[in-house]
Amino acid sequence: MSNDAIPGEDISRTIDQIEHTVRTILKRAEEYPQVINDLDRLMDYYLPTTVKLLDAYKELDAQPIQGENIQKSKKEIEAALDTLSTAFEKLLDSVFKEMAWDVSTDISVLHTVLAQEGLVEDPFTKMRP
């Protein structure tokens, strides 16, 4: 993205977080193409809008005189980037949703089989008086 061209620790940290999260989402999509359908909005709207906001911020930040409108616009972009960072993290979490369900199901089945074979205590037996 535009992180190298934009000074400032807070905004740089936010941009780094967005970059890392988006890279992780795209890597997941590369490894598991079935999640690609869930990423249409990311590719068609969220990422282009993020780049547009970063380009606008870079242009505003480069102005020699930082008037009230420029400062206000920069603050709005910073807030929008914070919101986008949170949204991208939630999107990443949703990309792993099916995997989490599969893991939970596997663990439940494992506990049931182990209990049936007498290798662990059956949780339903524990509840009986």
pTM of the predicted model as reported, rounded to 2 decimal places: 0.75
Task: Report residue 1's pLDDT band, with 50, 70 and 90 as the boundaries.
Answer: very low
pLDDT per residue as tens digits for the range 63-111: 999 999 999 999 999 999 999 999 999 999 988 877 656 667 778 878 8
Average pLDDT of the residues in 56-67: 95
Q: 3-state DSSP call for residue 25?
A: helix
Tokens, residue 50:
């993020």
Q: How far is CA 98 from the centre of its chain?
A: 16
Q: Is 61:75 a contact under the CB 8 Å cutoff?
A: no
> CA neighbours within 13 Å on the CB side: how many for 122?
10
Tokens, residue 84:
């986008």
Q: Is 66:73 a contact under the CB 8 Å cutoff?
A: no
